[in-house]
């Protein structure tokens, strides 16, 4: 076995088995504990411990007298015991990394404990979407509700209908098609308002040629953002052709930055936009490299708008980008309100209005940006959810706080 410094034998064995599982199909037989111990040079006790851990985490299925087999389906994540005061809540999320997903899951775990609920984490894989969720619901007799952060792509009516039969409040933290259900709700960013604000911010900054490079596989979200952008173009009196939007998107688990780099370079050569809208920081970072490589000294004329923050990393991007996003904690708080309070279930789809800020180009605070929802008529007050930034903080228009 390949040596990796002083890494413990059990950790190295687990990594090797996970690599083998990744290359195997569902149901493939794995080596026995004796075979592993001889092949890798560990004790049988170590091999037994690692196999048990993999079974606990849902990667393998052990059958007495038959062997150990790959289990590629959705799985519950092992969680150390937490006292359940008010029941449990299932938090279902995809097994590929996105800061938006991670931030929502992190907030959901924190808020679950705040409400006295035991968080049962459930990873969604691309092989078997949600197939083992009913089994998990049966395993716990005190489930209060389910929060779902689905992988990118459209949420089908068939999936929504399947979730409705659980008889529990199911809250999807994403945009979903309108479909009449009794127990399924959606709480997410107001993507159309985000699209309008992105166009308005770049237009106010003097950019007339724009491009929307939606690389993340959030099908319903990017469609709604694009609809908002086109609404803004119409209100601002800009021709529809002033916005370029490639129709190519990555699929879940694919390399979005690589696609963004190539697509940005292509758009810069063919359309020469100066205002670029990205749907995540990693794709914007890849786009920034394409700008430097393609524009030959004109990079400082290009400005970005990012419609999903990434742990504050956008603060260090140059030129300083606009960041248009809804508050993640507010989204998840509304989801828990639906689960814990039946009176909060009258509204089937909740949209959280965005805040807009412009990041600074140094380690100081962001500079002022006061974009207005372009659907407001001339001279009218900004729509709720747009932001005035004063005294170093964001304020949603419509809030009762004052910024004197």
Parallel/antiparallel/unpaired status of strands 143-149 and 88-94: parallel
Do 96 and 65 reside in the same domain of the chain?
no
First CA to last CA across the chain, in angstroms? 66
Structural tokens at position 144: 């209060």
Residue 241 lies in a domain: yes
Q: Is the pLDDT of residue 387 over 50?
A: no
Stretch among 1-10, 196-205, 220-229, 348-357 having the lowest mean pLDDT: 1-10
Q: Is 116 helix (H, G, I), strand (E, B) or coil?
A: coil
pLDDT of 364 reads 34
Query: What pLDDT score does 27 carry?
Result: 79
Express each pLDDT in 352-370 by its tens digit: 999 998 865 333 333 334 4
Q: Tokens 């005061």 map to which residue?
A: 85
Per residue in 15-73, pLDDT tens? 888 888 878 877 788 998 888 888 888 888 888 888 888 877 667 888 877 888 887 65
User: Which CATH number is 126's domain given?
Assistant: 3.40.50.2300
Q: 360 and 229: one domain?
A: yes
SS3 231: helix
* Closest listed residue to residue 104, CA positions, set 328, 338, 280, 355: 328
pLDDT value at 144 more than 70: yes
109, part of any domain: yes
Sequence-ordered list of residues with C-beta below 8 angstroms from that of 38, at least 6 positions apart, any chain? none
Residue 34, domain CATH = 1.10.10.10
Q: How many residues does the chain have?
A: 404
Q: Are residues 94 and 123 in contact, defined by beta-carbon separation less than 8 angstroms?
A: yes
Buried-state track 88-114, b at ≥16 Cβ within 10 A, e below 16: bbbbbbbebebbbbebbbebbbebbee
Q: Convert the pLDDT of each residue in 268-311 to its tens digit.
A: 999 999 999 998 899 999 999 999 898 766 778 899 999 988 88
More confident residue, 395 or 253: 253
Query: For the ranges 93-97, 175-179, 305-309, which has the lowest average pLDDT?
Result: 175-179
3 in a structural domain: no
pLDDT of residue 398: 33
Across the chain, what does the average pLDDT equal?
80
Q: How many domains does the chain have?
A: 3
User: Quick check: is 145 in a domain?
Assistant: yes
243 and 285 part of one domain: yes
| Residue 4 belongs to a domain | no
Pick the last residue of a domain from 160, 185, 210: 185
Residue span of the structural domain in which 315 resides = 191-325+355-396
Per the CB < 8 A criterion, the answer to whether 323 and 359 are in contact is: yes
pLDDT of residue 393: 34
Q: In terms of domains, do 258 and 386 share one?
A: yes
Residue 64 lies in a domain: yes
> Are 90 and 67 within one domain?
no
Residues 177 and 208 in one domain: no
Upstream peptide bond of 319 is cis (omega within 30 degrees of 0): yes
Residue range 90-115: mean pLDDT, rounded:
87
With respect to residue 313, please indicate whether it lies within any of the assigned structural domains: yes
| Residues 208 and 320 both lie in one domain | yes
Same domain, 241 and 99: no
Among 185, 220, 235, give the residue marking a domain's end.
Answer: 185
- Mean local confidence (pLDDT), 198-217: 91
- pLDDT score recorded for residue 80: 53
pLDDT at 370: 40
The residue from 185, 212, 231 where one domain ends is: 185
pLDDT at 327 over 60: yes
| Residues 364 and 392 reside in one and the same domain | yes
H or E stretch at 350: strand 349-352
Same domain, 177 and 202: no
Q: Is residue 336 in a domain?
A: no
Q: Are residues 379 and 264 in the same domain?
A: yes
- Percent of the chain residues past pLDDT 90, beyond the cut: 37
In terms of domains, do 244 and 380 share one? Answer: yes
């Amino acid at each position: 076995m390949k040596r990796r410094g002083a890494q413990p034998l059990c950790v190295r064995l687990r990594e090797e088995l996970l690599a083998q599982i990744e290359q195997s199909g569902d149901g493939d037989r794995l080596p026995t504990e004796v075979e592993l111990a001889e092949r890798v040079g560990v004790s049988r006790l170590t091999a037994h411990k690692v196999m048990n851990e993999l079974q606990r985490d849902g990667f393998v299925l052990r059958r007495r007298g038959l062997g150990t087999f790959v289990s590629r389906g959705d799985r519950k994540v092992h969680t150390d015991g937490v006292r359940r005061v008010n029941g449990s809540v299932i938090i279902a999320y995809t097994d590929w990394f996105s800061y938006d997903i991670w931030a929502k899951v992190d907030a959901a775990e924190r808020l679950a404990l705040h409400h006295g609920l035991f968080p049962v984490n459930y990873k969604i894989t691309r092989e078997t979407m949600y197939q083992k969720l009913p089994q998990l619901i049966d395993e716990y007799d005190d489930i209060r509700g389910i929060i779902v952060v689905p992988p990118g792509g459209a949420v089908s009516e068939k999936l929504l209908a399947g979730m409705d039969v659980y008889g529990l409040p199911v809250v999807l933290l994403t945009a979903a098609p309108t479909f009449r259900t009794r127990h399924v709700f959606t709480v997410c960013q107001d993507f159309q308002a985000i699209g309008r604000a992105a166009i308005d911010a770049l237009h106010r900054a003097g950019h007339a040629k724009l491009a929307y490079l939606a690389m993340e596989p959030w099908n319903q979200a990017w469609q709604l953002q694009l609809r908002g952008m086109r609404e803004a173009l119409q209100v601002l009196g800009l021709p529809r052709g002033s916005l370029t939007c490639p129709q190519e998107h990555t699929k879940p688990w694919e390399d979005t930055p690589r696609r963004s780099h190539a697509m940005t370079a292509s758009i810069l050569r063919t359309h020469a936009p100066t205002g670029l809208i990205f749907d995540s920081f990693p794709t914007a970072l890849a786009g920034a490299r394409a700008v430097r490589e393609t524009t030959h000294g004109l990079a400082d004329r290009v400005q970005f708008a990012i419609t999903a923050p990434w742990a504050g990393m956008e603060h260090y991007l140059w030129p300083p980008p606009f960041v248009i996003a809804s508050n993640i904690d507010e989204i998840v708080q509304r989801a828990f309100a639906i689960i814990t309070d039946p009176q909060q279930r009258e509204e089937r789809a909740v949209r959280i209005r965005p805040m807009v800020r412009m990041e600074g180009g140094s380690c100081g605070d962001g500079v002022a940006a006061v974009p207005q929802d372009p659907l407001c008529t001339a001279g009218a007050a900004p729509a709720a959810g747009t932001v005035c930034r004063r005294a170093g903080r964001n304020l949603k228009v419509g809030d009762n706080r004052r910024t004197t």
